[in-house]
Structures are given as C-alpha cells and as structure tokens.
Amino acid sequence: MKIMTTLLSGAAFAIGATLAIPVAAQDCERGDLDTRFCDTDGDLLADTPTDPAQQLDPSTLIFAYTPVEDPAVYKEAWSDFLTHLEAETGKSVVFFPVQNNAAQIEAMRSGRLHIAGFNTGSNPLAVNCAGFKPFTIMAAADGSFGYEMEILTYPGSGIEKVEDIKGKSLAFTSPTSNSGFKAPSAILKSDFDMLPDRDFEPVYSGKHDNSILGVANKDYPAASIANSVLARMLERDVVSEDQLVSIYKSQTFPTTGYGVVYNLKPELQDKIRNAFFSFDWEGTSLQEEFEKNGEAQFLEMNYKDFWDVIRKIDTANNVSYSCQ
C-alpha cells in the first residue's frame, strides 16, 4: 500500500512504501480512517482490536521522535525518559532515528514502530493511515502549550513583508508538516492571494533545521518554520538572531503529539500512558533539551479536540488522504 497526500496544488506526493502483508478491509464505522481500522466510539482514532490474536505485545518497543532536527541530539535528549519507559513497561526500548515524516509514518503503518511523537501536521495522516493514537503533548508548567509558524528571511534579502516573496522562492519543509507547509499554504492563499508556482517558487528542505540554516546561510530567501525548533537552535547557538528576520507569525498551534500504535495490547498501552504521565522531568536529559521551549510536563490531550484547527487547515488546503 502507498500513502498518498493530495495537496493544494493538486499534485500527489507518495510518502509511503508498499507493505509486504496486505490487511483486509473491515465492515465497520471508521470516518476518515483507512479501511483496516474501525472507530466505533467516534473519537476519530482506530479502535484496538478486540481479538487478542490481533494485538501486539513486542519484547522490544521501538520509539521515534519527529524528524525535525539532528537525530543524534534527540537520542540523547530522550535517553532518561526511555529508561523510565523501560522500567514502567518491563520491556527493552530502542530509539529509532527517522530521517523524514514519510519514513516515520510508514514504520508505524507496517508494524515496525510502536511509540512515537509525530509532528503537528503529520498527526492526521498518522492517525488515519497508520493507526496512531496520540494522547499527550508537551506543555509548560502552567499548562500552556503550542508554537507558531513564522516566515523567516535574512537581513538585506529585499524581503520586508510577505508580499515581497512574490517572484522569489520560499522554502517549505515537507508536504506533511503543518508549519512547514500546510499552515503557510493556507495563509498565503487566503490572506495574501499567493499560490506556489504562480506567485513564488516552492522548494522543499526536508526539515525545519534545514530551512532555518538555509535562510541563515542565504541559500533560501525565505522559509516557513516552527518557532519551537528555531528557539532550540538559537539556544544551542546553531544560528544567531542577527542572521534572521521574521516577517510573519501565525496563531498558536498544538505541538508534537505523542502516542502509540492502535494494536498494542490494552494493558501495554496503559503502561506506556502511565510512563508519560509519571515521568519526573527534574534534572533529566529531557528537561535539559525541552526547557529551552519552556516545556516541563506531558499534558493529557485528545486528538479530536486538539487537532481540530489542523484538520480545518487541511480542508482549506484541499488535502485528502488515500491509504491504498
């Protein structure tokens, strides 16, 4: 099976690989979910199979964090949490460094990824096509959360406002990214009457850090990025504020959603949930990395409500998902 995403321009981007084992369609309520899944309770997520023979109980759990920056940095950042996860589940846990959103989604879809943090824009695709069940996001100590999409340029680029991008190129990250593609596409169309190929040349960097570095190094005249990634790169001195100029800032969006694949055994899903919510951040590698964004806890959430704005952006972009 291939996962396809139909985008604003009408082009189709294949972002998956053929599965070795086809799965039969089920006769049930499912909404927008792939035909492999059911949604009998209306929460927009795939139901866990009731047949124990169809439930997974792997001896080793595979975890992947959204591929926004250097995977080596985040393997270390997540190390203390994964040790805690091992203690809570009684299983070995392996960090899987994915290189792009497509690989991460396909890994879960094909049964090779059990726990993950998917970026904001990838959550609907992961939910509908891979059976992802998100239940938490990172938040500040006071419960606030989220990030904004910003459009960056560099000093002296000749771009002082969004309209100045006309006739130039704009770097997106990937078609599945909210702040790296979906949100700016919808905003440029609705607020500025600007379309890719007609008004500017769209280019794809692959990741937010590539886009930010590309602007800082003057390889891209402008780029749309998640400012949570920018904050971490500024904190680590990967780029400096005098290399970049922000010309647009969006409303606040939910950040990375964390969860499990739908067909893990229910008791194992419960243990994984408990590991997220019982984790003590103080003095850990996770705190050291993510406190740069002001994040200090895992906040319980539900996909149906928290991702409503993202699904509306997809609708505005004429995005549809076909999982066959």
Alpha carbon separation from 63 to 19, 31, 87, 228, 236 (Å, rounded): 20, 27, 15, 21, 24
Q: Which of 227, 253, 279 is the last residue of a domain?
A: 253
Query: For position 194, what pLDDT does the model report?
Result: 97
* Structural domain total, the chain: 2
Task: Find the CATH number of the domain harbouring 267.
Answer: 3.40.190.10
**pTM of full prediction above 0.85:** no
Q: Which of 203, 231, 253 is the last residue of a domain?
A: 253
Segments forming the whole domain that contains residue 237: 147-253
Name beta bridge partners: 222.
153
pLDDT greater than 70 at residue 193: yes
pLDDT in tens, 34-79: 999 999 999 999 999 999 999 999 999 999 998 866 777 889 999 9
The residue with tokens 């023979």 is: 53
Name beta bridge partners: 116.
64, 259
pLDDT in tens, 207-235: 999 999 999 999 999 999 999 999 989 99
Distance of alpha carbon 225 from alpha carbon 211, whole angstroms: 7
Q: Which two tokens stand for residue 107?
A: 């890994």
Query: For position 315, what pLDDT does the model report?
Result: 85
pLDDT in tens, 94-113: 999 988 888 999 999 999 99
What is the band of 9 on the pLDDT scale with cuts at 50, 70, 90? very low
Q: Which of 253, 276, 306 is the last residue of a domain?
A: 253
pLDDT in tens, 264-278: 999 999 999 999 999
What is the band of 23 on the pLDDT scale with cuts at 50, 70, 90? low
Helix, strand or coil, per DSSP, at residue 236 = coil
**126 and 21 together in one domain:** yes
Give, in degrees to the nearest 5, the angle at Cα 318 between 315 and 324. Answer: 100
Catalogue the E-assigned strands of 77-194.
92-95, 115-118, 132-139, 147-153, 169-172
**93 and 198 together in one domain:** no
**271 and 225 together in one domain:** no
Query: For position 267, what pLDDT does the model report?
Result: 98
Alpha carbon separation from 123 to 109, 126, 177, 256, 307 (Å, rounded): 13, 5, 9, 8, 8
**82 and 135 together in one domain:** yes
**133 and 185 together in one domain:** no
